[in-house]
Amino acid sequence: MAGNVGARDVGLVGLGLNFAVTPAMDIAIDYTGAFGQDQQDHALSAGLTARF
């Protein structure tokens, strides 16, 4: 991750969830985190996919 370029020891965590709302529509939520000494970086994203 760009926010932790100078960190020597960094732990990375990621989690992604996709839900089918209907057969033609999905919702996605993703989290990514980086944890190091005196540093933290977090990112959350969401998306909607519709097929027709």
The model scores a pTM over 0.85: no
CA atoms within 13 A on the CB side of 38: 3
Structure confidence at residue 9 (pLDDT)? 87
pLDDT tens for the chain, 52 residues long, are: 555 456 678 999 999 999 999 999 999 999 999 999 888 999 999 999 999 9
- Please give the Cα distance from 32 to 45 (Å, whole number): 9
Domain boundaries, the chain: 12-50
Supply the pLDDT for residue 3. Answer: 55
| CA end-to-end span of the chain | 35
Q: What is the pLDDT of residue 4?
A: 45
